[in-house]
Amino acid sequence: MSLLAFGINHKTAPVEIRERVAFTPEQLDGAFQQLRQHPQISEVAVVSTCNRTELYCVVDSDAHGQDTTPVLEWMSQFHNLDLTDLARYSYEYTNEDAARHLMRVSCGLDSMVLGEPQILGQIKDAYLNAQDKGLVGRELNPLFQQSFAVAKQVRTQTSIGENPVSVAYAAVSMAQRIFSDLSKSQALLIGAGETIELVARHLRNAGVSKMVVANRTLSRAQAVAEEFNGEAVVLSDIPHQLEKSDIVIASTASQLPILGKGAVERALKVRKHKPIFMVDIAVPRDIEPQVSELDDVYLYSVDDLKEVIEENMRSRQEAAEQAEQLVLAGVGHFMQSQRERGAGQLIGTLRQQVDNIRVTELEKALQQLQKGQNPEEVLQRFSQSLTNKVLHEPMVQLRQASADNRNDLLNGARTLFALD
């Protein structure tokens, strides 16, 4: 078995592709059921965010070297995507490279926003979800634990997270470029997850005092709105709120667009074509792309934020270099531990084999004592027989190694048994 990391992210695929391979919570349940029964996959965790969909697996080693891997084939079938197209946009890492990739992702080194902290929480959620489904075992568990430890080191020992750089921050920064005074603007936030909370926090810091949070579940919208002295509404109230909103930022887990071109067009008429700034952070998208065709609407997708993000991430480059060194050390520690676990299995087998010999010889000795034989002679025979039985097979192998001129095995035996 070997480790495999399979994925698609913002670097390899546009949002149109990423939204087709993203997993909703409902889809994940069905995916786990299929993966649990897959003959070549023994452990798996699924990470699905707006910027990446990744599977971290333990797979049959025989699957490598083939034209397609079992994970690629499964993803193609599950999402009904052409295998060739999916392969073009995806990437795969194995063993040490897979471990390095997960650690870099956990530290925010592979994110659109360098060093952003949200991804670590998403990785932890993916791990716990897979663990709850019984799909994390003796291989993936130490890998994720090591990744979490490295991510903590990076946060505490470097300054990579000191500057407020995130997709949410970038969205608000872009709004500040369009509206010189955000204190006079109303913001409509669609969704009530962690990203929207972060957006709301940055909006408040930027001077926005009036915020409306729209969500499918009103109670969740109220929980977010109360923290920022905002108003909570349900999704059906969006058209009415749209008429009063200058800034619209959407981030939900909906599979279908929540805001269409018609609703925005009607709102613009009521606003007498006063401009609306919109950012769609969601994948799949919450706002129909056709909305961008309307005059007086500035619509940006998550991919459009890259330029703003790049400006703000330069300060993190030096810290990122330090983080890369911590990742390398973490990968080295993990690989050493993995090799030690492999030796542990061998040691356990050897110990069991020797113990079986000991038990057999001890039973013979006890029977001889019960028959009244001389204890000293019994102990002599027991120790000699135990020595002969334990060393018989190694001695046979050493003689054969010498006959075959296998100096590597002979030298290994000297080291293993400290014969020098």
pLDDT in tens, 114-127: 888 889 999 999 99
> Is residue 248 a contact partner of residue 190, using CB atoms and an 8 Å limit?
yes
Contacts of residue 53, defined as CB under 8 A and 6 or more positions apart, other chains included, come to 7, 8, 9, 18, 21, 22, 23, 46, 47
Mean pLDDT, range 172-199, rounded to an integer:
90
pLDDT computed for residue 90 by the predictor: 95
pLDDT computed for residue 53 by the predictor: 96
* More confident site: 294 or 68: 294
Q: What confidence tier does 342 reach under pLDDT thresholds 50, 70, 90?
A: low
- Tell me, yes or no, if the pTM score tops 0.75: no
Q: What confidence tier does 419 reach under pLDDT thresholds 50, 70, 90?
A: confident
Q: Mind listing the pLDDT tens digit for each residue in 274-311?
A: 999 999 999 899 999 999 999 999 999 988 887 777 77
Q: Over the Cα atoms of the chain, what is R_g?
A: 30
- 107 annotated active-site: no
> Is residue 18 a contact partner of residue 5, using CB atoms and an 8 Å limit?
no
- Tell how strand 210-215 and strand 231-234 pair up: parallel
Mean pLDDT, range 348-373, rounded to an integer:
89
pLDDT computed for residue 68 by the predictor: 59
pLDDT computed for residue 81 by the predictor: 92
Number of H helices, E strands in the chain: 16, 10
pLDDT computed for residue 32 by the predictor: 95
Please report the beta strands in 22-138, taking only residues with DSSP state E, as ranges in sequence order: 41-48, 52-59, 91-94
Is the per-residue pLDDT at 38 higher than 70? yes
Calculate the alpha carbon distances from 29 to 34, 121, 133, 181, 386 in Å: 9, 20, 9, 46, 55
Q: What confidence tier does 63 reach under pLDDT thresholds 50, 70, 90?
A: low
> Is residue 249 a contact partner of residue 219, using CB atoms and an 8 Å limit?
no
Q: Which of 11-20, 66-75, 347-356 is predicted most confidently?
A: 11-20
Cα separation, 236 vs 42, whole angstroms:
44
User: Which range, of 7-21, 81-95, 313-327, averages the lowest pLDDT?
Assistant: 313-327
User: Which range, of 96-105, 122-131, 377-386, averages the lowest pLDDT?
Assistant: 377-386
Among 5, 41, 46, 50, the active-site one is 50
- What are 401's two structure tokens? 């190694």
Rounded mean pLDDT of the chain?
A: 90
C-alpha angle with apex 282: 276 to 284, nearest 5 degrees?
120
pLDDT computed for residue 7 by the predictor: 96
* More confident site: 316 or 231: 231
pLDDT computed for residue 347 by the predictor: 80
pLDDT computed for residue 324 by the predictor: 95
Q: Token match 């531990």: residue?
A: 337
Cα separation, 43 vs 3, whole angstroms:
9
Q: Mind listing the pLDDT tens digit for each residue in 145-181?
A: 999 999 999 999 998 877 666 788 888 888 888 887 8
Q: What confidence tier does 107 reach under pLDDT thresholds 50, 70, 90?
A: very high
